[in-house]
Amino acid sequence: MKSRLKRPECPASALCVLTAGFVVLVNNRRMFGLLADRIDLASVQGIACFLAVFLGFSGMLGLGLLLVGHKYVLKPAAIALLMLSAVLGYFTQAYGVVFDPRMIQNIAETFVDDNRQEALELLSAPLALRVFLFGLLPSLAVLMARISWKEVRGELRQRSIYAGVMLAVFALLVLPNHRYMLYVARENVRLKYYATPTHALNSLRKYVTACWAGRGKPFVAIGQDAVQVRNGRARTIGILVVGETARADHFSLNGYPRKTNPRLEQRRLLNYTQATSSGTSTAYSVPCMFSFLTKDHFSTAKGARQSNVLDVLHYAGVKVVWIDNNSSDKGVCVRLGYTNLRQGADSTSPFYNDGGYYDEFLVEGLEKLLDGTEADVLIVLHAMGSHGPAYHRRYPAAFAKFQPSCQKDAPHESSVEEVVNAYDNTILYTDYVLDRLIGFLETLPRSCATFLLYASDHGESLGENGVYLHGLPEAIAPAAQTHIPMLLWLSDRYSAGHSIDHALLEGRADAPTSHDNIPHTLLGLFDVRTSLYRADLDLLRTK
């Protein structure tokens, strides 16, 4: 009777090193591509530098597996590393995404908000193929591998040898070349953002640490001294539209050659051409734009533990209403309550789309929000705007003006021209929605002083330099992700009642502005006085 052929055994240490090398090799194309552009691969120094980075990175991951990869732990750890790296590597390579703590926060809040639609839009056939080839198949190989284990001393000795050999080879590459490598490292420190999966894991550690550090700290109510200065002025009703993923250089109001704002161009607006966002992700920018901390001092943990401008307006007697057609209020209006239109959306509505509504649904029913109160009212509308990657899902067919447009949920699979066309269609639709909202305010009684303030939460990359979407750390984020549209419309009644000097304000509209201006401008618009108010940040200041 023939004996079965035994599968060859693989030493545990070898599996650790091979797994780490495979992960670094197949999931870091963007990092190594950027490195190759910055060094001379035709020189011995450049080649040695490139190999040292690969070996150092692989050795760091391998050492981690050597330390934790004991019996019953090694295979699960290696499989987790392979699967996680395959997913992270796809988004870093395909979209240029960087998994810093703010991106980790964005991901966490997607799950907290139960925003399945946003998550589903990120799934694609290329992602599935990559995970299958570089995650699932190697994971099956690890699962089926026969690992040879030595007794404790022997295992330690063998792992020490592996680690020592890697360290020795790394030293041979670095020491003769240390000046060149130090220069390259100093000038390209930002390449670490693309290291997969180490940067993401370190970001996760920082995010969890920050959440834990803020746990249990008390909420501080600030601005409770807020009062409204009446002086016989008209009732004020305002709409604040929190835009999504709109970039200033695609607004024809700002000189973009395509007519993406044909309706708004016909209105008298204060258009702030040099506005910048607090961050590059919704989870960070939205809370920051309502906070009194300003961008330089803001963190989501700090912001969540003190009153924001909506709370202060409420203290002063202004009725605040938040209607959300996006993911959520990101904790901004949690103390006042809000309505999320994407929860239980009516599929029979003519505005229904993709589990929610087109943004023009935000105009419906606004008049009802004013019933039952004679107080001043601020209506905050969190729009879906130009949210990627599925730009084609953000506007009705009637606004598909720019063609051919990308019809895929994975924009990197289409030409840049098609992606830009789809994106510009979303801006054209935003123009329509904002115009309708202004039209609604114009229908209110002339006894009301009305305004509309619009600002996007952040911008968007559309394939420039191979980067898509948003969320890059500010240190490397392009202007496309931080230069945002921001505009203010004032009714004639409001302008007359507050002696608005449009010529003066229009002359200042090209000066640098940011989300930091929003809280103080809202206080000024409602004539609220509080010790928190800073006139220098009020866009309507007269001096």
* SS3 sequence of 274-314: EEECCCCCHHHHHHHHHCCCCHHHCCHHHHHCECCHHHHHH
The three-class DSSP label of residue 235 is strand
d(CA 494, CA 237): 10
**Omega of the bond prior to 485 within 30 degrees of 0, cis?**
no
- Contact between 205 and 243 under an 8 Å Cβ cutoff? The reply is no
Count the neighbouring beta carbons within 10 Å of the beta carbon of residue 208. Answer: 13
Indicate whether 146 and 246 sit together in one domain. Answer: no
Q: Which pLDDT does position 438 carry in this prediction?
A: 98
Residue 221 in any domain: the answer is no
Indicate whether 20 and 128 sit together in one domain. Answer: yes
The secondary structure of residue 4, as a DSSP letter, is P
Residue 180 in any domain: the answer is yes
d(CA 142, CA 67): 18
Q: Which pLDDT does position 329 carry in this prediction?
A: 93
- Contact between 201 and 208 under an 8 Å Cβ cutoff? The reply is no
Structural domain ending residue among the three candidates 189, 214, 239: 214
Q: Could you read off the pLDDT of 496-511 as tens digits, one per residue?
A: 999 999 999 999 999 9
Q: Could you read off the pLDDT of 404-461 as tens digits, one per residue?
A: 999 999 899 999 999 999 999 999 999 999 999 999 999 999 889 999 999 999 999 9
The secondary structure of residue 220, as a DSSP letter, is B
Residue 124 in any domain: the answer is yes
Task: Assign residue 285 the CATH number of its domain.
Answer: 3.40.720.10
Residue 407 in any domain: the answer is yes
- Kindly state the percentage of the chain with pLDDT values over 90: 70
Q: Which pLDDT does position 174 carry in this prediction?
A: 84
Count the neighbouring beta carbons within 10 Å of the beta carbon of residue 255. Answer: 9
Report the first-to-last Cα separation within the chain, whole angstroms: 99
Q: Tokens 């799950």, residue?
A: 111
d(CA 63, CA 160): 10
Residue 219 in any domain: the answer is no
Indicate whether 354 and 383 sit together in one domain. Answer: yes
Mean pLDDT calculated for residue range 362-390 = 92
Q: What is the largest CA-CA distance in the chain?
A: 105
State the pLDDT confidence band at 150, using cuts at 50, 70 and 90: confident
- Model confidence pTM above 0.85: yes
Indicate whether 194 and 257 sit together in one domain. Answer: no
Indicate whether 195 and 264 sit together in one domain. Answer: no
Indicate whether 337 and 248 sit together in one domain. Answer: yes
**Which residues have a Cβ under 8 Å from the Cβ of 126 and sit 6 or more positions away?**
90, 94, 410, 413
Q: Could you read off the pLDDT of 249-281 as tens digits, one per residue?
A: 999 999 999 999 999 999 999 999 999 999 999
Structural domain ending residue among the three candidates 214, 249, 274: 214
- Contact between 473 and 102 under an 8 Å Cβ cutoff? The reply is yes
Q: Per-residue pLDDT for 484 more than 90? A: yes
Distances (CA, A) of 488 to 359, 392, 491, 506: 19, 27, 10, 11
d(CA 64, CA 67): 5
Indicate whether 263 and 345 sit together in one domain. Answer: yes
Count the neighbouring beta carbons within 10 Å of the beta carbon of residue 122. Answer: 18
State the pLDDT confidence band at 1, using cuts at 50, 70 and 90: very low
Residue 4 in any domain: the answer is no
Task: Supply 113's token pair.
Answer: 């908000």
Domain count, the chain: 2
Picking from 163, 228, 533, the residue whose alpha carbon sits closest to that of residue 377 is: 228
- Contact between 27 and 86 under an 8 Å Cβ cutoff? The reply is yes
Q: Tokens 């591509």, residue?
A: 33
What is the length of the chain?
Answer: 543
State the pLDDT confidence band at 144, using cuts at 50, 70 and 90: very high
Q: Which pLDDT does position 4 carry in this prediction?
A: 57
Indicate whether 85 and 162 sit together in one domain. Answer: yes
Residue 446 sits at φ, ψ, to 5 deg, of -65, -10
Q: Could you read off the pLDDT of 196-224 as tens digits, one per residue?
A: 999 999 999 999 998 888 777 899 999 99
Indicate whether 162 and 272 sit together in one domain. Answer: no
d(CA 293, CA 1): 80
Picking from 223, 264, 240, the residue whose alpha carbon sits closest to that of residue 517 is: 240
Q: Letter for the amino acid at 24?
A: V
List the domain range (segments joined by +) for residue 205: 9-214
Mean pLDDT calculated for residue range 373-398 = 95
Residue 41 in any domain: the answer is yes
Mean pLDDT calculated for residue range 352-358 = 89
How far out from the chain centre does Cα 172 lie? 41
**Which residues have a Cβ under 8 Å from the Cβ of 92 and sit 6 or more positions away?**
27, 30, 31, 98, 99, 194, 196
Indicate whether 18 and 51 sit together in one domain. Answer: yes
Q: Could you read off the pLDDT of 159-178 as tens digits, one per residue?
A: 888 888 888 888 888 888 88
Indicate whether 266 and 391 sit together in one domain. Answer: yes
Residue 462 in any domain: the answer is yes
Structural domain ending residue among the three candidates 161, 191, 214: 214
Indicate whether 25 and 101 sit together in one domain. Answer: yes
State the pLDDT confidence band at 179, using cuts at 50, 70 and 90: confident
